[in-house]
Amino acid sequence: DQQVKQNSPSLSVQEGRISILNCDYTNSMFDYFLWYKKYPAEGPTFLISISSIKDKNEDGRFTVFLNKSAKHLSLHIVPSQPGDSAVYFCAASPSNEKLTFGTGTRLTIIP
């Protein structure tokens, strides 16, 4: 039972354009959401998060949008850079210590 879903296993975007990564969840108890980035042979690193009391959070080139009614969040990267090529995981938490991760989306930025 996949409570956090990333339906696009991969995405290719031209350098300088916008990358949009999507994530859907089913558990209405989730109230905190995070995005992690993972390079090969490294552990995931935290990128950006959003609480359910907000619908948008911005940090430099990265913006996360949350649509609670649709149980959907998205990560926007503008402008996309070659160093953004990585696997991106969304994760969600229901106000406790545990995170439930999605299956990941491999983003490739084309120079």
Partner 1 sequence: DVKVTQSSRYLVKRTGEKVFLECVQDMDHENMFWYRQDPGLGLRLIYFSYDVKMKEKGDIPEGYSVSREKKERFSLILESASTNQTSMYLCASSVWGTRSYNEQFFGPGTRLTVL
3-state secondary structure of 31: coil
DSSP character string of 84-104: G-EEEEEEEESSSS--EE---
Site string for partner 1, 14-53 (x = CB under 8 A): ------------------x-x-x----xxxxxx--x-x--
Report the distance separating Cα 71 and Cα 26, nearest Å.
7
Size of the site for partner 1 (CB under 8 A): 25
> At its nearest, how many Å lie between partner 1 and the CB of residue 89?
6
Burial grade of 73 (CB within 10 A; 0-12, 13-18, 19 or more) = buried
* Complex with partner 1: residue 68 or 79, whichever CB lies closer: 68
> At its nearest, how many Å lie between partner 1 and the CB of residue 27?
13
- Interacting residues with partner 1 (CB under 8 A): 4, 6, 9, 32, 34, 36, 41-46, 49, 51, 89, 91, 93, 97-104
